[in-house]
């Protein structure tokens, strides 16, 4: 807003350059108003909005304008008006610079002090606040001086990763330029990496390697997420028409790298040696196994203008190729995660009949409607789900798949509502809230270091899927209330939990905090079990405590089906497990 007012004032003052000439011809007392308007606008801006970087120039320009009120010499008036315009344009430039300046250090201080006072898992996670401050405060001060947005974003990621908490994150605000964030995830060389169950690293989501892409024309087969384009969908066609860019994209294909090709070295080192160089994740993985699962994905963005990739060709021969940088890697990260982690593409709480024995219920968010979200009454949701469940049972369906993949969480009361339908017919404890000191807003620990147990939340099961089998599909992006649901239903005898990884293991309630450059979120409300321990979240061992009955191994067959054919391997595997009369649950 300040910027536009400065521009408006500059226009006004340009008019004041010619005004004295007109004043000579039209004599009037009212001309004085022209000279006082800039001062009043400046004062008004200070009055309403407070200090603004543009204010300094506006004040100087206003004083120069006011001083013209008593002047009789036309030339002097015109010169002063001209000087005012100059001052305003200088202040515009300076103001733009100052207003876009990010106070990384100030934001870090604010975030740190609030997290230190209110983060509820510091003891459980072994957080050493002093050491963290000593390590990161100087770095944030440095990056504030340098005003390097990419470095600042990476620094936030590194600082927050010390909490090993899927609920701890930094979301950059509008002041960050998109390109600066893209740079943080590195460069796209035309592929992502995954680790097979046998320990080998393979290429996936390789540029130009798809057999088919929904029947699209050749030129659109190239996914080209690497173009610096905020829109993560297919790129503008004109970018692909540039000859050398088109050729660059064929580098891996020509070298013989396709989905499933074993990658032996990345830029001269084994892939796992690059793990410590990964600075930014799209989401935190508190469980160490989950973290190791996703790390190779981010390694594929590390490198300069080109990267040397050593691989085994189809004949088992060692080969290497120099892959050029195609653009920003972030788009390919999203696309690889979509192929790997996306659940069935239907609406939340929607059903899909798989076959005459099996039905799927998709839950990607623990939210039903606005009214119920802040309350605890999900009876309307249960009244909608219950008849469908009974209908499928009456039709003889025995197998239920609840797809919780990429479940972003939401209300714990909705979790209880859904679980009630499938829980055995008995009373279950869900969790205990912690006692809050209402004066200080702090959840206080007792002498044993544990939070004091407050009210218990329980639920009674309706056992609507009695004698049937239930498989829960989860992954590392199943978080918060999604973790809750997994943890809860793991106790039911007829439930089997499977996924390529465990669920995220982050379940405490979250608080969001605004900063000048964005916002952070962190766990601020503890949920306790009957022993008074915090439920689900990992401790210093970084081992997720949400049960997972089967980790489905990533094999060459999985890669082929998922990345070449775009199939939902995990779903097909789950269906096949019912057919082989497994799991027993």
Partner 1 sequence: MGTIIRSQLYQLKRMKFAFVIYLLFVLGIGLTTITMSGGEACEYMEEFVLKNPDFMVSFGILTIGLWVGYTCGMDFRDKVSNYEVMYGHSRLQVYAGRFIPGCLVSAVSATILVLVTMLFGGILRGFEGGEDTVNLCIRCTLTIFPYLRMTAFLVCLTFVIRNPYIIMSMGYCFFMAYAVTASIDLKMSRSNISSITNLRGLMDCSGWSIYNLDPVKGIVNYDTFDTGLSAGLVLETIGSSIVMMGIYFVIGYLFFKKSDLD
What residues line the site for partner 1 (CB under 8 A)? 29, 32-33, 36, 39-40, 43, 46-52, 66, 69-70, 114, 117-118, 374-377, 412-413, 433-434, 436, 438-442, 454-458, 509, 511, 524-525, 527
Q: How far is the CB of 77 from partner 1 (least distance, A)?
A: 15
Q: How far is the CB of 554 from partner 1 (least distance, A)?
A: 37
Beta strands in 74-209 (DSSP E): 169-172, 187-188, 192-195, 201-204
Closer to partner 1 by Cβ: residue 441 or 553: 441
Closer to partner 1 by Cβ: residue 50 or 493: 50
C-alpha span between 431 and 452 (Å, rounded): 13
**Residue 419 is encoded by which pair of tokens?**
């679980």
C-alpha span between 498 and 552 (Å, rounded): 7
C-alpha span between 185 and 150 (Å, rounded): 9
C-alpha span between 564 and 560 (Å, rounded): 5
C-alpha span between 482 and 480 (Å, rounded): 5
Closer to partner 1 by Cβ: residue 456 or 543: 456
Q: How far is the CB of 148 from partner 1 (least distance, A)?
A: 24
Closer to partner 1 by Cβ: residue 308 or 458: 458
Q: Is 101 exposed, middle or buried (0-12, 13-18, 19+ CB in 10 A)?
A: middle
311 strand-pairing partners: 263, 319
> For tokens 């968010």, what's the residue?
365
Q: How far is the CB of 326 from partner 1 (least distance, A)?
A: 37
Strand duo 169-172 + 518-525: pairing: antiparallel
Q: How far is the CB of 329 from partner 1 (least distance, A)?
A: 32
On whether the CB atoms of residues 487 and 504 are closer than 8 A, the answer is no
Closer to partner 1 by Cβ: residue 355 or 437: 437
On whether the CB atoms of residues 553 and 197 are closer than 8 A, the answer is yes
Closer to partner 1 by Cβ: residue 145 or 455: 455
Closer to partner 1 by Cβ: residue 30 or 75: 30
Q: How far is the CB of 415 from partner 1 (least distance, A)?
A: 12
On whether the CB atoms of residues 457 and 387 are closer than 8 A, the answer is no
Asked whether the CA dihedral 153, 159, 162, 167 is positive or negative, the reply is: negative
C-alpha span between 496 and 490 (Å, rounded): 7
Closer to partner 1 by Cβ: residue 47 or 238: 47
Closer to partner 1 by Cβ: residue 173 or 256: 173
How many Cβ atoms are within 10 Å of 501's Cβ, its own excluded? 25
Q: How far is the CB of 518 from partner 1 (least distance, A)?
A: 13
Q: How far is the CB of 483 from partner 1 (least distance, A)?
A: 15
Closer to partner 1 by Cβ: residue 118 or 469: 118
Q: How far is the CB of 97 from partner 1 (least distance, A)?
A: 17
How is residue 451 annotated by DSSP? B
Three-state DSSP at 328 gives strand
On whether the CB atoms of residues 532 and 452 are closer than 8 A, the answer is yes
**Residue 231 is encoded by which pair of tokens?**
């829109």
C-alpha span between 15 and 92 (Å, rounded): 18
Q: How far is the CB of 21 from partner 1 (least distance, A)?
A: 20
Q: How many CA atoms lie within 13 A of 564 on its CB side?
A: 13
Q: How far is the CB of 33 from partner 1 (least distance, A)?
A: 7
Closer to partner 1 by Cβ: residue 217 or 370: 370
C-alpha span between 578 and 449 (Å, rounded): 45
CA nearest to 400, candidates 427, 418, 375: 418
Q: How far is the CB of 451 from partner 1 (least distance, A)?
A: 11
> For tokens 């090993």, what's the residue?
164
CA nearest to 197, candidates 292, 133, 284, 304: 292
Closer to partner 1 by Cβ: residue 32 or 582: 32
How many Cβ atoms are within 10 Å of 526's Cβ, its own excluded? 26
């Amino acid at each position: 807003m300040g910027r536009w007012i400065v521009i408006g004032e500059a226009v006004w003052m340009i008019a004041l350059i010619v005004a004295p000439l007109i004043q000579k011809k039209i004599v009037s007392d009212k001309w004085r108003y022209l000279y006082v308007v800039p001062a009043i606008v400046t004062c008004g801006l200070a009055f309403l909005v407070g200090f603004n970087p543009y204010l300094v120039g506006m004040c100087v320009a206003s004083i120069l304008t006011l001083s013209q009120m008593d002047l009789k010499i036309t030339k002097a008036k015109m010169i002063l008006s001209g000087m005012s315009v100059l001052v305003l344009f200088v202040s515009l430039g300076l103001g733009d610079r100052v207003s876009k300046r990010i106070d990384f250090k100030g934001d870090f201080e604010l975030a740190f002090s609030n997290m230190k006072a209110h983060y509820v898992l510091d003891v459980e996670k072994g957080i050493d606040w002093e050491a963290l401050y000593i390590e990161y405060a100087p770095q944030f001060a440095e990056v504030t001086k340098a005003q390097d947005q990419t470095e600042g974003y990476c620094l936030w990621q590194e600082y927050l990763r010390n909490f090993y908490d899927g609920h701890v994150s930094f979301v950059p605000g509008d002041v960050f330029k998109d390109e600066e964030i893209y740079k943080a995830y590195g460069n796209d060389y035309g592929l992502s990496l995954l680790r097979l169950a046998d320990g080998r690293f393979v290429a996936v989501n390789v540029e130009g390697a798809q057999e088919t892409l929904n029947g699209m024309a050749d030129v659109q087969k190239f996914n080209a997420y690497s173009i610096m384009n905020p829109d993560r969908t297919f790129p503008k066609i004109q970018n692909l028409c540039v000859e050398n860019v088109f050729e660059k994209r064929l580098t891996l294909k020509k070298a013989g790298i396709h989905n499933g090709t074993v990658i032996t070295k990345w830029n001269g080192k084994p892939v796992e040696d690059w793990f410590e160089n990964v600075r930014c994740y799209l989401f935190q993985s508190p469980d160490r196994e989950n973290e190791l699962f996703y790390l190779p994905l981010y390694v594929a963005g590390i490198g300069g203008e080109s990267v040397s990739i050593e691989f085994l060709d189809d004949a088992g021969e060692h080969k290497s190729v120099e892959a050029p940088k195609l653009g920003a890697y972030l788009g390919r990260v999203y696309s690889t995660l979509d192929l790997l982690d996306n659940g069935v593409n239907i609406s939340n709480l929607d059903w899909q009949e798989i076959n005459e024995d099996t039905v799927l219920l998709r839950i990607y968010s623990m939210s039903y409607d606005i009214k119920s979200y802040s309350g605890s009454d999900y009876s309307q949701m249960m009244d909608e789900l219950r008849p469908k469940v009974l209908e499928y049972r009456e039709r003889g369906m025995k197998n239920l798949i609840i797809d919780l993949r990429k479940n972003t969480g939401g209300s714990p009361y909705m979790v209880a509502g859904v679980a009630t339908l499938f829980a055995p017919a008995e009373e279950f404890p869900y969790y205990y809230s912690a006692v809050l000191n209402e004066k200080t807003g702090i959840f206080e620990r007792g002498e044993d270091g544990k939070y004091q147990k407050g009210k218990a939340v329980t639920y009674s099961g309706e056992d609507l899927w009695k004698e049937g089998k239930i498989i829960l599909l989860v992954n590392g992006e199943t978080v918060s209330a999604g973790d809750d649901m997994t943890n809860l239903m793991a106790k039911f005898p007829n439930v089997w939990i499977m996924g390529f990884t465990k669920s995220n293991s982050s379940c405490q309630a979250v608080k969001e905090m605004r900063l000048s450059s964005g916002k952070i979120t962190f766990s601020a409300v503890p949920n306790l079990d009957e022993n008074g321990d915090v439920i689900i979240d990992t401790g210093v061992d970084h081992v997720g405590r949400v049960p997972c009955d089967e980790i489905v191994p990533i094999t060459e067959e999985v890669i082929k089906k998922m990345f070449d054919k775009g199939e939902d391997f995990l779903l097909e595997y789950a269906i096949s497990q019912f057919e082989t009369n497994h799991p027993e649950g």
